[in-house]
Structure 1
């Protein structure tokens, strides 16, 4: 999952970025509202964390601009202000949740995880597709209740596919959601990780759970549990 942090407190920005990266998120950062607006308009994010008190364009106005441009990813606002009016203003502007500074990182992670799940129509951390199941909280994949060992990138890929089943995703789309801005979008790395997932999860080719759509990309099928 790819997250945008818009925060002008550089120490807090770095602390949040490091925590999210440690939990397998891909993170881009911006230090003011103008840069946040540009990045949010240029790249496909799964969620954003936006401070209210930003320079150039404040957080509330930034959220209003994003929603006016039909950018619909979930947004958590951060505010140092403890007045309920500020929280209401942020939510009315289009934010989905809020945290008041100072906050605990586990709470931010839990709220972020919940918002991403809900935006994909999933109500719980455990997402099931036939014999496959992932726990987005513990970041574990099981096949028929047996743990499957995955690298960090393999997990990111299967999580994204499990959150968006029956949709065709191009290599470019997958790369943009799984890597930061500087990654080479022409790389065949997605093809490599798809091959690894198939080998680990379906070595006998009995599930055929990931379709290759020629000229378009990949699709995770909905599976029926036997």
Structure 2
């Protein structure tokens, strides 16, 4: 039988047939291949336990509960392949004590997200979007550290972490437009490109034509993020974590 992901109740995408990877065993039941049915454990965290928003933080807590040590898989460092970089200016150090970024080139934004990763994201309550975005969200679920990818080709000049100018405008990923008056933003030479720790801007968003990204990983002070999403009627997994405090 040929079915879309929506017809199989795996996703809302009904634009085409669900394609399995080449390593999917012929004749194996789809539910078995995807590890279904599966059980999910839902945790209700108090605001002071933001360290448990990632699997590694949960592992530390479970290890402490049982008097053991956390054993994490070995992860070999991946050496940088490209030589491109982008200058960064930290103009609001009290609100963002640390800001890191790396230019990653030669990406295929249309490459499909591995099915196993898409399934894990769905079971965690996140909708798969694209491989670039999905990998960032997967890392967030593992480490508790939100990431954001900008389309590097749509950025102009150095990246600045600064306070927004009064009356500065920003069009966000969800299509809404906000007028700023001092909130923390990530900006380039053209203006604000992201509402820091809350949501990226539409003008520098990753698209199907993206080949190079500027990948952001930052530590934003909770006081700088707290209340910003609520003021503009926004909700994001990044804001939910940063306003409670992400382990730096």
Query: Structure with the greater relative contact order (CA < 8 A, sep ≥ 6): 1 or 2?
Result: 2
TM-score, length of structure 1 as denominator length: 0.28
Greater fraction of residues in helix = 1
Bigger Rg, structure 1 or 2: 2
TM-score, length of structure 2 as denominator length: 0.26
